[in-house]
Chain A
Amino acid sequence: MSATSDHYYLPNPSPWPLLASSGLFTLALGTVLTINDLGAGPWVLLVGAVIIGYMMTRWFGQVIGESEGEVYNAQVDMSFRMGMAWFIFSEVMFFAAFFGALFFERHFSVPWIAADHILWPGFQAMWPTSGPKGVAFTPMTPWGIPAINTLILLTSGATVTWAHWGLLKNNRAQLIVGLVLTILLGISFIAMQAHEYYMAYTHFGLTLKAGVYGATFFMLTGFHGLHVTIGTIMLIVMLIRSIKGHFRPDHHFAFEAVSWYWHFVDVVWLGLFIFVYWL
């Protein structure tokens, strides 16, 4: 332990927050231009993505350097842990908005539209539905790809915990094998999901435009899939760091943060499986 371990580490002034803000601005502007089919939209979007990518590499790189350089004491570690936990809570609330939309449309708005036959005579309340003016589609069944994906994610939750046990016992081989397994399972999940989307669009007529079922289905599974992708990228970074010899049994906040995130993604999936695919 170094001399600073009894001081709360306060970082020097840093250019990364400002760069991050300008990157977010460029991304937002690029998206606005792109979705309105205006001029250089995609290029602005690309510039924003490059700024964000560069900023993240440098900012995280600096934090990793500080962490391995032993400037963080236990109190700093606790700040990081609390920060991550509250960040995950904010993510839970983000998903809650879309689950709320699903419950409301399924249990209130669709029956209400059907109860009042003035606008759309003959429309029967049912679920799934694409609404009175919607297109025909085939809904997803739970016991194909979704059930396999459930199994994949639950298994990956176990493998990442097994990797964590390896790290705690200072068994580096178990840590690395566990992470590799988790990443492979994560990639399999994304591949299966991509196949499911492909089938939905080409064979089932199930698209974003397929009424409230299509909208809630794709927004919920889509944002979840995005989070699995982000989680997989974070796991890959953890794998690279593990191979480089980072982390100690008593000092590995980043690994735990990623595994918390992975479990969170797992739990959200269970909600999706039950409420979007099954019931």
Chain B
Amino acid sequence: MASAAAIHEEHPVGLKRWLFTTNHKDIGTMYLVFSLLMFFVAGSFAMVIRAELFSPGMQIVQPYFFNELTTMHGLVMIFGAIMPGFVGFANWLLPMMIGAPDMALPRLNNWSFWILPFAFTLMLSSFFVPGGAPGTGWTMYAPLSIQAGIGMDMVIFSIHLLGISSVLGAINIIVTILNMRAPGMTLMKMPMFVWTWLITAFLLVAVMPVLAGTVTMVLMDRHFGTHFFDAAGGGDPVLYQHLFWFFGHPEVYIMILPAFGIISQIIPTFSRKPLFGYESMVYATASIAFLSFIVWGHHMFTVGMPAAAEMFFMYSTMLIAVPTGVKIFNWVATMWRGSLSFETPMLFAIGFLVMFTIGGLSGLMLAIVPADFQYHNTYFVVAHFHYVLFSGAAMAMMGGCYYWLPKWTGHMYNETLGKWHFWLTTIFFNLTFFPMHFLGLAGMPRRVPDYALQFTDLNRVASIGAFGLGMSQLLWVYVIYQTVKGGKKAASKVWEGAEGLEWTLTSPPPYHSFATAPTVK
């Protein structure tokens, strides 16, 4: 039976190709398309939120439905848009970057993807059951999540499914990177994107099971009479917060480290210089990952922790600024005296650099315990994490999309429209989220559908910005569609300054990336 032809001998076409595929490129495409779809689903929730907040008082939605939307906006963006988006990049790029024929465990790879549509069907259908989707916020704090309706159970089980998907996907990525590298591709020769994903995948395997255990405890408290989070039985709602943020803080690095990887590929290409301080980048990424496990308390400074714990979490959090600063300076130093050009991916990378740094600095402000007592649960926090997650994670993916789309499709995208997309996104993003800093500092609480009159003007600005931001993303979809359909043929080496194995393959690359492993010198 077995012969050389046993490698992917079947190529089903049509629907079966996508349903049954074991090919890393097909699976990567499905991840990316799914992520884009979820980006618009969760984005549309944000549009309703901003429409409601356009004026003080209640306009278009009921308060509870508003809470459902904020909850689902968070859950779907995090688990549906950002995480699968980066896994899509990993699927497409890792085998090509390390000189492998495919991912190490191709059937498992397909399973990791196909869990997602089922999990989100379960999660999103909670809108339509009695009691609706949970209105707990994406953090699902006990005791609110204990008291919520059946929709909470649906979200709990969809999180179990998403956890299985993430853990299996992460295992596959780790095994691919550790076991499938071409001869000569030593660990310290791997592209930064590969390194950041190796460390991200480790974080995923380490913390997704903790989230699974935590929501299981919520489920038990809800239905089986346990008292994990109930003081009457000796439990403590604060335990929920500790467990959740032990997952939650590494999770925010799961969403940003692959973005660091993409930026570390783009900036050297358009600076026509190798990445400055490669080794320090690797060590900085590992340090950030390590620190992410010992800083979770900074999400709950106001909950009443012992002062010693507050101090510990404050200083450990501030320590993260050191490796992050190393990265920012390395990117800037890569551009220093480089032969710069400003194609769309580079614009997104520079935008990332500036705006992610703003998010990092507001993070430092939030790390200061006495200051956090003022900022906690205000729009300042909302501004902070949208600067790191939208202008950080999402805009890195947009840059990565323009950077590798010619490689993936074999066509060049429309540079003019790409630049329009960048500028519209950047302007509207700042219009949406910069005013939120001031709203938060002035005391406007987050997750509330109504607000005091003095916050009206800045909320109007933010809402107008949000509508513009949402509309601008339609342009992105149009550019992607146009590029997939046709356009100028892309060369193997799409960008003259690009380095790496993926650029030695044709555009689009062959079905099996490297049937025979290349040798890396």
Contacts of B243 in A (CB 8 A): 97, 100-101
Question: Which residue in A25, A69, A214 is a CB contact (below 8 Å) of B2?
Answer: A69
Asked if B107 and A133 sit within 8 Å, CB to CB, the answer is no
Whether A8 contacts B226 in the complex (CB less than 8 A), given A21-B114, A100-B243, A131-B235, comes out as no
Would you call A180 an interface residue if the criterion is a C-beta within 8 Å of the partner chain's C-beta atoms?
no
Would you call A39 an interface residue if the criterion is a C-beta within 8 Å of the partner chain's C-beta atoms?
no
Would you call A132 an interface residue if the criterion is a C-beta within 8 Å of the partner chain's C-beta atoms?
yes
| Those of A1-18 within 8 Å (CB) of chain B | 2-4, 7-18
**6 more CB-based (< 8 A) A-B contacts, given A7-B6, A100-B246:** A12-B6, A59-B107, A69-B1, A83-B105, A90-B167, A101-B243
Asked if B179 and A24 sit within 8 Å, CB to CB, the answer is no
Asked if B2 and A132 sit within 8 Å, CB to CB, the answer is no
Would you call A249 an interface residue if the criterion is a C-beta within 8 Å of the partner chain's C-beta atoms?
no
| Those of A90-131 within 8 Å (CB) of chain B | 90-91, 93-98, 100-101, 104-105, 108-110, 112-113, 119, 129-131
Contacts of A94 in B (CB 8 A): 209-210, 212-213
Would you call A209 an interface residue if the criterion is a C-beta within 8 Å of the partner chain's C-beta atoms?
yes
Whether A10 contacts B224 in the complex (CB less than 8 A), given A32-B154, A90-B205, A104-B236, comes out as no
Question: Which residue in A36, A86, A95 is a CB contact (below 8 Å) of B174?
Answer: A86
Would you call B477 an interface residue if the criterion is a C-beta within 8 Å of the partner chain's C-beta atoms?
no
A28 to chain B, nearest CB (A): 4
Asked if B225 and A208 sit within 8 Å, CB to CB, the answer is yes
Asked if B175 and A83 sit within 8 Å, CB to CB, the answer is yes
Task: Give the contact-size bracket for chain B.
Answer: 35 or more
Q: What are 9 A-B pairs with beta-carbon distances under 8 A?
A: A9-B6, A10-B512, A11-B106, A25-B118, A78-B179, A79-B179, A113-B234, A130-B227, A211-B227
Asked if A214 and B226 sit within 8 Å, CB to CB, the answer is yes
Asked if A15 and B2 sit within 8 Å, CB to CB, the answer is no
Cα–Cα, bound, A95→B19 (Å): 34
Would you call A247 an interface residue if the criterion is a C-beta within 8 Å of the partner chain's C-beta atoms?
no
Task: Give the contact-size bracket for chain A.
Answer: 35 or more
Cα–Cα, bound, A209→B232 (Å): 11
- Top 9 closest pairs, chain A to chain B, by CB: A97-B213, A131-B234, A109-B236, A17-B111, A13-B20, A215-B226, A94-B209, A211-B233, A28-B157
Contacts of B9 in A (CB 8 A): 12
Closest-by-CB residue of A relative to B237 is A109
Asked if B20 and A97 sit within 8 Å, CB to CB, the answer is no
Asked if A24 and B161 sit within 8 Å, CB to CB, the answer is yes
Asked if A18 and B114 sit within 8 Å, CB to CB, the answer is yes
Would you call B21 an interface residue if the criterion is a C-beta within 8 Å of the partner chain's C-beta atoms?
yes
| Those of B65-113 within 8 Å (CB) of chain A | 100-102, 104-108, 110-111, 113
Contacts of A82 in B (CB 8 A): 104, 174-175, 178-179
B381 to chain A, nearest CB (A): 25
Would you call B38 an interface residue if the criterion is a C-beta within 8 Å of the partner chain's C-beta atoms?
no
